[in-house]
Amino acid sequence: MSNLRIYVAGHKGMVGSSLIRSLKKEKVHLITKDRKELDLTNQASVQKFFKTERIDQVYLAAAKVGGIYANNIFPAEFIYENLIIETNIIHAAFLGGVKKLLFLGSSCLYPRLAEQPISENSLLTSSLESTNEPYAIAKIAGIKMCESYNRQYGNNYGIDYRSIMPTNIYGPGDNYHPENSHVVAALIRRFHEAKVKSLPKVIIWGSGKVKREVIFVDDVARASIFIMNLNKDIYVKNTKPMCSSINVGVGFDLTIKELSKTIQKVIGYTGNIEFDLTKPEGVPRKILDSEKIKNLGWKPEVSLKEGLIKTYESFKKLNLK
């Protein structure tokens, strides 16, 4: 990796900032641009950026993300912004001579009722979860762009664009909006506020029975770098031209009720937990089959309790209103 010029798109986001922390340990030249410096929805600006920066590798972690509420309320924004960001970056990277790119997908791209644990082959086999379908379709398009550019330009131009499918991510840098956040971030905020305000109970959306697999963000960053730099022959041997993404998970899931109680203990909240059955809760279960990446030599390093403690410590420094 020595002396590589690496662009991390979305470097201020949860995964992007973790990638920056990890890549800073290597002898590489990191390239970042905030929104004021580079509008990723502007095709001309993105193409100009890639033509002038001489980039060797791209980590495409930029995306509009949110929880169930945000996906339901802003479907047009989720499909438009994600489509335009990823198409701008992937195509401009190709025009700019970038040979290596890693696209970050999401486990929500899989069908709502996919067989559990979910294998990479499950993609596009049946209907998506309706609450995040626009986001999922946009991100699936990103994966298919990478595959399509590999198929058309791989041999003649040396294009090697890869994708990973991480399970539900949490950690420092997450979005803690009271309505637009993902499950772990939302629970941390609710339990923290209940503790600070001495509230008698915390109300959680859904029945608490649905199951989720969660992974600490630094493990996702490590997996991203691992897959990016995996020998091409090994990557090709373990994927297919039209099914090339690789799952990244921890190998176990737990109910929202179990997750809530674990977060409650980490935060030290002593009140009660109630579940609001009138609120949506998404797919009944979602755990990935991550045997492929584990067989390739990667495994998660951060335990759930350790990850939650680190996440809560970072949350307390935010001074959210």
The angle at the Cα of 174, spanning 205 to 243, to the nearest 5 degrees, equals 90
- CB count, 10 Å around CB of 171? 25
| pLDDT value, residue 117 | 97
Number of domains forming the structure of the chain: 1
Count of alpha carbons within 13 angstroms of residue 296, beta-carbon side? 24
95: containing domain:
5-316
| pLDDT value, residue 321 | 60
| pLDDT value, residue 1 | 67
Is 93 within the bounds of a domain? Answer: yes
CATH (domain of 216): 3.40.50.720
| pLDDT value, residue 240 | 97
Is 150 within the bounds of a domain? Answer: yes
Catalytic residue among 7, 69, 135, 170: 135
| pTM to 2 decimal places | 0.95
Contact between 296 and 222 under an 8 Å Cβ cutoff? The reply is no
Is 321 within the bounds of a domain? Answer: no
| pLDDT value, residue 233 | 97
Is 13 within the bounds of a domain? Answer: yes
Answer yes or no: 135 catalytic.
Answer: yes
Is 247 within the bounds of a domain? Answer: yes
Is 104 within the bounds of a domain? Answer: yes
Is 100 within the bounds of a domain? Answer: yes
- Per run of 10 residues, the mean pLDDT along the chain (length 321 residues) is 91 97 95 96 98 97 84 91 98 98 95 94 94 94 98 97 97 85 90 96 94 97 98 97 98 96 97 93 88 98 97 90 60
Is 114 within the bounds of a domain? Answer: yes
